[in-house]
Structure 1
Amino acid sequence: MRIDVLGAVRAFHDDGGPVGLGGPRHREVLARLVAAEGRMVTTDTLVCDLWSDPPARAVGAVRTFVAALRRALEPDRPPRVPPRVLVTEGPGYALRLPRADVDVHRFEDTLARARRDPGAVTGLGTVLAAWRGSAYADVTGSAWAQRERTRLEELRLEGVELRARILLDSGEGADLVAELGAHVGEHPWREPAWELLARALHRAGRQADALATLRRARAMLADQLGLDPGAGLGRLETGILNGTVPGADPRTPWTGSGVRLGPRTTVDLARTLALAGGDALVHSRRDRLAAVRAAERTGDLLLTARVIGAYDVPALWSRADDPEQSRAVVEAAERTLTALGADCPTDLTARLLATVAVESRSAGLSASELEHARQAARKAEELARELADPALLAFALNGVFLQSFTRPGLAAVRDGIGAEILGPATRHGLPNFAVLGRLVRLQSASALGDLDAAASHAEAAERLAALTEAPLVSVLTGWFRARVTAARSTEPGGPSAATAAAHYRVAEEALRTAGMPGLHRGLFPLALLGLRLLHDRPAPTDPRLDWGPYLPWARPLVLLAQDRDEQARAALAAVPEPPRDHMQEALWCLTARAAVQLGERGIATRAAAALGDARAEHAGAACGMLTLGPVTRYLAEAEACAEAG
């Protein structure tokens, strides 16, 4: 079957016949499940989304709507056979349809493919043409639908512009003038639209009209907004005046000479790719290092400094995905700083120092290296403040954040850093760093057990991500919601532990292809272990679990769960001090729990001393993605063990 929501909500059977969806509330329930993209939506959420003031029998009404929709969507389903399309899952419902069978998912996936592969432009044109009006057009008066309409309309506009850009870059697009003229007329504040219209006019041989369009854009921005046009409009005007415009290959300079991108342009492209996640993120790292090495080969120190410092991609996780590359970038930054010495411009010095701070987050760094990275972070922040450069300050504060894991118990400090990043990023239109600030604050609130504040930051981050097309954000917030489910599984009337585990599994599947191995490896088993500890159950012993970097701390508890006490004791004796990262409180709590169960007073004493300053926090929750429960629980056990005997 097929479901369409890019316009009024409707559905069709395999034979093309329409599905009778019932009244407005029935269609809204179906639409809300479509918007969840296959994730479970709780009955409580559906009630809140359908009614601003829910009636007394709202839950029963939702169940009635769901039952009617099931009959409409699967009319031939025999009695007592479980539904396959609209399924019950835990405390709510989920829609199970291939993404290709839902127009909005088909649109979003095609847009994502076109961003990675210009060859997908034909499919992009097809899905754009399938829009029949505003998304969820007949779902009126619902806040969730309005948010989705706003998000999807922004994606549609970007899709229109992406399609035009790909066609123009490939040597086509002269026939886009009318379409882009209407687009600019409807959305005059979108600078990329003006640029594309001017390029289409130029491609059609109308150079004078193209220049007039650019001047009209400049006048509109200046007169109505008091803004100067962006660099893209200026470069295009210069290119038209000089007779040079973008060539057929979007990865070549505007000279049309076929020369490949220089290192600075390559790193700018890499920075853009890094925000896309998945394979694009992997390619981004590769291209970034290649650009740094190419810049060094030129012998131009200032160029090298600019290339290294240009990759100001927000970084949230305290462990590098590619430690060897991170070390190579740090070494290149250090070499460049040393070679330039006092001749290095202040802004480039700050960028190089911030790069050192951001990239010096790999496991295995010595104490002196970590201290050097912390000093680099603080100096970069100081210089950025002196320069009053908001973008540079946000990048420098990113380094300060990543160097703020010096000991357990610093969640409140990190929340302050997140607020400092968020302030200038919001005021000065830096959406990617605004997302970072929100996620840092989400993590900090999660660590402090303030789930309402964390949820607010998660929602704000998702709204920003919808505008900037940052798909990794939803991966992280999906994990946060699984962490919330796990915490609430211990409350009376809360979700079951099995439901929490299922939520973690869904989050794990999304993370698996996100292109962040430094975050991914071992996270799911650690989450399951935390869930079991919350319910006073032994550690999971499935040999297929990949514990990744967390194995030394999990192994004693796994062995205890297998009644292999002596081997567990030996494993505990070999456990190192946790690295200074997002998981240090969690790993100290695992050590404390194993020490208590084995009666190892000395190790329990060390764990209690390490955790003392984190007694108000929740173990593992500093990552915003899982929880082992309150630190105070493990701390009290360790202190009691240390004092016993």
Structure 2
Amino acid sequence: MPVAEELTFRLFGPLQVCGADGRCAVLGSRTQQAVLAVLLLRPGQCVPVERIIGQLWPGAPPPGAAADVHAHVTALRDALEAAGPLLVARESGYLMEVAPERVDVCRFAAGAAAGRAALTGERPAEAARAVDAALAEWQGVPLADFSGEPFAGPTVAHLENLRAQAVQDRAEARLLLGDAGWCVTELDTLVRETPYRERLWELYAAALYRAGRRDDALAAIARVRDLLFEELGLEDGPGLRALERAIRDDDPAAIPGGAPPAG
């Protein structure tokens, strides 16, 4: 097992602890791996024993649950021993002494946040790069080994929401950079996969307009308006109405998007 600084901890797809050479540690039982996953979701932070118990056995922990957690931690220490003292005991709990950037879900979340900040700061090229790097971390279903475990559900839902926002941010950044053709293709898929995200439809209609498809842009707006009303009982928002007016008036200054990239 390589030293800690060379390890990568993967929570997308099966749980893995791997070195730079691709070799992965042999971990123990499913519960032992679940303890490791709970700790890796908060790298460098002490996770109280009570929280670990609540994550693994919500509502009805077995007798001696604290002792069970200690036994699993001891087994994990043995499995990771060659990499150094990664798993540290504290008075109230345990922590994984690893930097967040060594954990794939943390790299994803940090990259998505950086992309959103860059987009908000009107730096679309930086935003696109950050989000591309973040989405590249998404190599499989989050916490795939623990899909039936209660602790995994809220984390997976949170990560999926982050991903949906990141995908939207990337499309907006690419549209601002003038890549309307790419955005039309990408957003055509996204509005089918997540049809109730009104902002996605706004970007889709704007991309269609920027790609010279004005009538298709208006048709997309009509489609989402009907969808929202018929299936959710909601009126379309002011952003969508303003975009429709701008498209009908052929007012590019009021429509998201930039000039096509050179060449």
Q: TM-score range by the shorter chain?
A: 0.7 to 0.9
Is the CA contact 1:184–1:194 (under 8 Å) kept in the aligned structure 2?
Answer: yes
How far apart in 2 are the matches of 1:154 and 1:200? Answer: 23
3-state secondary structure, aligned to 1:3: strand
1:11 aligns with 2:17: yes
3-state secondary structure, aligned to 1:238: helix
Is the CA contact 1:211–1:240 (under 8 Å) kept in the aligned structure 2?
Answer: yes
1:140 aligns with 2:141: no
Is the CA contact 1:40–1:94 (under 8 Å) kept in the aligned structure 2?
Answer: yes
Is the CA contact 1:3–1:9 (under 8 Å) kept in the aligned structure 2?
Answer: yes
Is the CA contact 2:171–2:186 (under 8 Å) kept in the aligned structure 1?
Answer: no
1:246 aligns with 2:256: yes
1:146 Cα deviation from its structure 2 partner: 0.8
1:42 aligns with 2:70: no
3-state secondary structure, aligned to 1:19: coil
Is the CA contact 1:134–1:153 (under 8 Å) kept in the aligned structure 2?
Answer: no
Is the CA contact 1:26–1:66 (under 8 Å) kept in the aligned structure 2?
Answer: yes
1:76 Cα deviation from its structure 2 partner: 5.0
Equivalence map 1:238-637=2 (5 Å):
238-243=245-250, 244=252, 245-248=255-258
1:72 Cα deviation from its structure 2 partner: 2.5
Worse overlay, 38-47 or 202-211: 202-211
Q: 1:540-599 CA distances to partner (integer Å, 9 max, x unpaired)?
A: xxxxxxxxxxxxxxxxxxxxxxxxxxxxxxxxxxxxxxxxxxxxxxxxxxxxxxxxxxxx
3-state secondary structure, aligned to 1:132: coil
Look at both structures and tell me which one has the larger radius of gyration over its CA atoms: 1
> Which residue in the other structure is 2:138 paired with?
131
- The alignment-based identity, stated in percent, is 37
1:126 Cα deviation from its structure 2 partner: 2.2
Amino acid at match of 1:94: L
3-state secondary structure, aligned to 2:37: helix
How far apart in 2 are the matches of 1:216 and 1:113? Answer: 33
How many pairs are equivalent? 243
Change (3 A) 1:89 1:173: farther
3-state secondary structure, aligned to 1:55: coil
1:101 aligns with 2:102: yes
> Which residue in the other structure is 2:33 paired with?
27
3-state secondary structure, aligned to 2:26: coil
Amino acid at match of 2:256: P
How far apart in 2 are the matches of 1:109 and 1:211? Answer: 36
> Which residue in the other structure is 1:210 paired with?
217
How far apart in 2 are the matches of 1:240 and 1:137? Answer: 44
How far apart in 2 are the matches of 1:10 and 1:202? Answer: 45
Q: 1:174-208 CA distances to partner (integer Å, 9 max, x unpaired)?
A: 21333322222121111111112222222333222
Is the CA contact 1:4–1:102 (under 8 Å) kept in the aligned structure 2?
Answer: yes
1:162 aligns with 2:172: no
> Which residue in the other structure is 1:500 paired with?
none
1:33 Cα deviation from its structure 2 partner: 1.0
For structure 2, the residue ranges without an aligned partner over 5 or more in a row are: 1-6
1:157 Cα deviation from its structure 2 partner: 0.5
TM-score, length basis structure 2: 0.84
How far apart in 2 are the matches of 1:206 and 1:14? Answer: 48
Q: 1:255-303 CA distances to partner (integer Å, 9 max, x unpaired)?
A: xxxxxxxxxxxxxxxxxxxxxxxxxxxxxxxxxxxxxxxxxxxxxxxxx
For structure 1, the residue ranges without an aligned partner over 5 or more in a row are: 78-82, 250-645
How far apart in 1 are the matches of 2:210 and 2:16? Answer: 40
Q: 1:595-634 CA distances to partner (integer Å, 9 max, x unpaired)?
A: xxxxxxxxxxxxxxxxxxxxxxxxxxxxxxxxxxxxxxxx
CA-based RMSD of the aligned residues comes to 2.0
How far apart in 2 are the matches of 1:157 and 1:137? Answer: 18
1:159 Cα deviation from its structure 2 partner: 0.6
Q: 1:444-474 CA distances to partner (integer Å, 9 max, x unpaired)?
A: xxxxxxxxxxxxxxxxxxxxxxxxxxxxxxx
Is the CA contact 2:107–2:137 (under 8 Å) kept in the aligned structure 1?
Answer: no
Change (3 A) 1:76 1:215: closer
Is the CA contact 2:203–2:256 (under 8 Å) kept in the aligned structure 1?
Answer: no
